[in-house]
Structure 1
Amino acid sequence: MEIAERAQALALKIRKHKADIQTEEATKNAFVMPFISTVLGYDVFNPAEVIPEFTADVGTKKGEKIDYAIVHDGQVQVLVEAKKINDPLRIEHASQLFRYFAVTNARIAILTNGETYQFYTDLDAPNRMDAKPFLVLDFSDIDDTLLPELAKLSKESFNLDSVINAAEELKYIGQIKRILATQFKTPEDEWVKFLAGRVYEGSFTQRVRDQFAPLVDKAARQFLNEQVNDRLKNALGGPDSFVSVSTGAADLPEQDVPTENSPAALSETRPRDSNGDVVTTEEELEGYRIVRAIVCGEVPAARIVARDTKTYFGVLLDDNNRKPIARLWFNRAKKYLGVFDENKVETRVPIETVEEIYQHADQLRKTVARYNSAASSEAKSAEAAEPNFADSSLNPR
């Protein structure tokens, strides 16, 4: 199981149970320990790998404890301090991390409330923990671009030097991305003024500000949607490899794969843009990423391909319409996940949230495994059918 799938599994657990968690200790047991064990791969019950309640006396401070110390190659490498779920993470609440960071070999410190994980190192001054994190991982909205860096801290792929070398770039890129996200969500006056000044030649009065604020918001949303659609097309093989999400290409033929449910009962029209084109939503992309994370244990992620149509969002193996893995029937009054049996008959399962796709992980994996098994059998049959010219009956003297 790759780190993306492990992280998504923990994210689902956090969403399902965070409302039930009331204390710091419960947060550690429910979320922080699974992060250390499931995501990073360390044995939380082996003191040679994870030391709970780690103690290292610092000056006049005696008996203070850090929640966890992660050990690699016999040395303490990562310190973890946990707070209660939903508590805001403030660096002033992590005084132990500062003190312990200076007296141990650890180069990485993690401050977490079980859902958000802030990673610190010593970029600004040697052996002194920075005041700002170089990486922030939020399990309520996982940034997939950060997972390769997280993998470098895992037991199986530990590479501290690589993490430290990338930390400064990650720190500033992360801060800039969070600023941009804030501006896209709630544009500040300075941001509105900056953009308006590029297209409007008059004075920036309050009336102009009121006029441009909703325009900036609308333009930002449209820009992000266009970027998502373009990245989907490029990442999954270009416009020729699947039905375009922006050109309104024709739907794939429904008769290629039989369906168990009545099409008439699920015939709501998908939303389109003003030109009648197919619109790929962020919810569909999230569903696709979940399906890909689930089945990438069976096949390389590059073989999992998306095709958006006017009626559903399809996920295929090898960009082959006769190897459907799942169909996402979203953007209608009721969401459905289409799954397939051994005869490629589709069953549409009602779901309330995208995360419920994880509940059907076994069936999705079995579907991909069947395709792999069938391909392997076909290859063996073809090999057996080839003439063996080493056989004397086929190689007369």
Structure 2
Amino acid sequence: MAAITVVMNVILNKFNMELQPQLKALAEKINLLKDKINTEESTKHAFVLPFINILGYDSFNPTEVVPEFTADLGIKKGEKVDYAIYQNGDPILIIECKNWKEKLTVHNSQLFRYFHVTKTRFSLLTNGIHYQFFTDLEHPNKMDEKPFFEFEVTNLKDNVVNEIAKFHKSTFDVNKIVNNASSLKYTKEIKQQIDNELENPSAEFVKLFANKVYSGRLTEKVMEEFKELVQKGFNQSISEKINDRLNAALNKEAQKQKEEQIHVVLEEENRITTTEEEMEAFRIVIAILRRKLPVERIVHRDTQSYFGILLDDNNRKPLCRLHLNGSKKYIGLFNDNKNETKQAIQSIDDIYLFEKELLETVNLYEE
């Protein structure tokens, strides 16, 4: 069973990756065309049918997508819903469409009347932008008045795409969607209640927290004070949690950048090869400078560009630089402004010719 769940999750993730760009393209198309769409029929063709196709159903196959779906409703004949999607010969989703400019109102919808006379467990009310999915959580075979899942295709989040993927032709599973519908529906309603309480705390909500922190009598005046305090406390708590997450994310990103920089430095160091010639040249410089400096104060630092020799291992106190790896060899000398001047040498023995300049550089730092 666990293996099946893993496989299904892999399949859903695959469809999520495929659905996201398709839904994004549809959203862009809607934003581009909606001002030119004026009728319900145009809304169906421009917005709704492309969404059905994204779910993997062939709108040109009348055994899969049935337009103007009709069912026997006792003595009332001829009523229709816009589409029914079929799978294995049975309707799995009936769809009623509105003009994209209309607000969705389920109370006068024909979906209510059709739901109980078909085998479907799901119905969809849409204006091509706003989608509302219904089922029968509260009473068997009777469509709920509130949708268990709704979204705007022009404002999708990743978790919404995950739920849309479950209606794809290749992954459609009635039982899994129904089992998840209850969680979706009540989670959405709880979030709405939380938003309402944060915006305008009810007396019950205020009393719940006031009783936990206040030992006196909850008079009308006290309740009015606590209403503001509860609202303020919740908003501050939410803000702090958001800031904590942002700081954690920023710290994580900073740590990542630091690790990347260290990695780059290590890579550069790994690419540096100090040659025997450079070390021999370093020993010549030591031989010259030890007249004025203890040997331990003269330090070399190899880079990809040059072989540097520093006073006290301090980058701000360069004694000289040796450029020995190219076709021509140079020694870099520094003046009192620490500007480097390159002098050509035939071999490292020529370093002895610059004894005076090297000792003068030491004098600059020592003075």
| TM > 0.5 fold call | yes
SS where residue 57 of structure 2 aligns? coil
Q: Equivalents in 2 of 1:138, 1:65: separation in Å?
A: 25
Using the TM superposition, give the Cα deviation of residue 99 of structure 1 relative to its aligned residue in structure 2, in angstroms: 1.4
What's 1:359 paired with?
none
- 1:41 counterpart = 2:52: no
The 8 Å contact of residues 152 and 160 in structure 1, kept in 2 or not, is answered as no
- 1:83 counterpart = 2:98: yes
Which residue identity lines up with residue 171 of structure 1 in the other structure? K
Match of 1:149 among 163, 172, 188: 163
- 1:170 counterpart = 2:184: yes
Alignment of 1:232-247 (within 5 A): 242-243=253-254
Unaligned 5+ runs, structure 1: 234-238, 257-397
| Structure with greater contact order relative to length (CA < 8 Å, sep ≥ 6) | 1
Greater CA radius of gyration, 1 or 2? 2
SS where residue 28 of structure 1 aligns? helix
Q: What are the superposed Cα offsets for residues 221-278 of structure 1, whole Å, 9 maximum, x if unpaired?
A: 4434545676x68xxxxx66x4369xxx76977xx9xxxxxxxxxxxxxxxxxxxxxx
SS where residue 2 of structure 1 aligns? helix
Match of 1:2 among 5, 18, 25: 18
The 8 Å contact of residues 136 and 174 in structure 1, kept in 2 or not, is answered as no
Closer, same or farther: CA 176–207 of 1 in aligned 2, 3 Å: closer
Using the TM superposition, give the Cα deviation of residue 183 of structure 1 relative to its aligned residue in structure 2, in angstroms: 4.4
The 8 Å contact of residues 135 and 148 in structure 2, kept in 1 or not, is answered as yes
Which residue identity lines up with residue 53 of structure 2 in the other structure? S
Unaligned 5+ runs, structure 2: 1-16, 265-367
Q: What are the superposed Cα offsets for residues 328-382 of structure 1, whole Å, 9 maximum, x if unpaired?
A: xxxxxxxxxxxxxxxxxxxxxxxxxxxxxxxxxxxxxxxxxxxxxxxxxxxxxxx
Match of 2:147 among 106, 109, 133: 133
Closer, same or farther: CA 189–93 of 1 in aligned 2, 3 Å: same
Closer, same or farther: CA 223–13 of 1 in aligned 2, 3 Å: farther
What's 1:109 paired with?
123
Closer, same or farther: CA 117–227 of 1 in aligned 2, 3 Å: farther
Match of 2:44 among 12, 23, 28: 28
The 8 Å contact of residues 83 and 112 in structure 1, kept in 2 or not, is answered as yes
Moved over 6 A (4+): none
Match of 1:188 among 194, 201, 204: 201
SS where residue 188 of structure 2 aligns? helix
- 1:206 counterpart = 2:254: no
Q: Equivalents in 2 of 1:137, 1:112: separation in Å?
A: 10
Number of residue-to-residue matches in the alignment:
241
SS where residue 141 of structure 2 aligns? coil
Q: What are the superposed Cα offsets for residues 144-201 of structure 1, whole Å, 9 maximum, x if unpaired?
A: 22333322211122212211222222221222123334445x3434456655665666
Moved more, 64-73 or 136-145: 136-145
The 8 Å contact of residues 192 and 216 in structure 1, kept in 2 or not, is answered as no
Q: What are the superposed Cα offsets for residues 18-45 of structure 1, whole Å, 9 maximum, x if unpaired?
A: 444433223222221121112x121112
What is the TM-score normalised by the length of structure 2?
0.56
Q: Equivalents in 2 of 1:221, 1:82: separation in Å?
A: 40
SS where residue 76 of structure 1 aligns? strand
Closer, same or farther: CA 34–195 of 1 in aligned 2, 3 Å: farther
Closer, same or farther: CA 27–220 of 1 in aligned 2, 3 Å: farther
What's 1:337 paired with?
none
Closer, same or farther: CA 2–243 of 1 in aligned 2, 3 Å: farther
Using the TM superposition, give the Cα deviation of residue 10 of structure 1 relative to its aligned residue in structure 2, in angstroms: 2.6
- 1:11 counterpart = 2:27: yes
Using the TM superposition, give the Cα deviation of residue 139 of structure 1 relative to its aligned residue in structure 2, in angstroms: 2.5
Q: Equivalents in 2 of 1:141, 1:110: separation in Å?
A: 18
Q: Equivalents in 2 of 1:37, 1:124: separation in Å?
A: 31
Alignment of 1:43-58 (within 5 A): 43-58=58-73
Closer, same or farther: CA 117–214 of 1 in aligned 2, 3 Å: same
The 8 Å contact of residues 24 and 154 in structure 2, kept in 1 or not, is answered as no
The 8 Å contact of residues 149 and 185 in structure 2, kept in 1 or not, is answered as yes
Closer, same or farther: CA 211–105 of 1 in aligned 2, 3 Å: closer
The 8 Å contact of residues 153 and 160 in structure 1, kept in 2 or not, is answered as no
Q: Equivalents in 1 of 2:156, 2:27: separation in Å?
A: 8
What's 1:223 paired with?
241
Alignment of 1:286-325 (within 5 A): none
Using the TM superposition, give the Cα deviation of residue 132 of structure 1 relative to its aligned residue in structure 2, in angstroms: 1.9
Q: Equivalents in 1 of 2:103, 2:214: separation in Å?
A: 40
Closer, same or farther: CA 165–187 of 1 in aligned 2, 3 Å: same
Closer, same or farther: CA 52–244 of 1 in aligned 2, 3 Å: farther
What's 1:288 paired with?
none
Q: Equivalents in 2 of 1:221, 1:20: separation in Å?
A: 42
Closer, same or farther: CA 86–42 of 1 in aligned 2, 3 Å: same
What is the TM-score normalised by the length of structure 1?
0.52
What's 2:286 paired with?
none
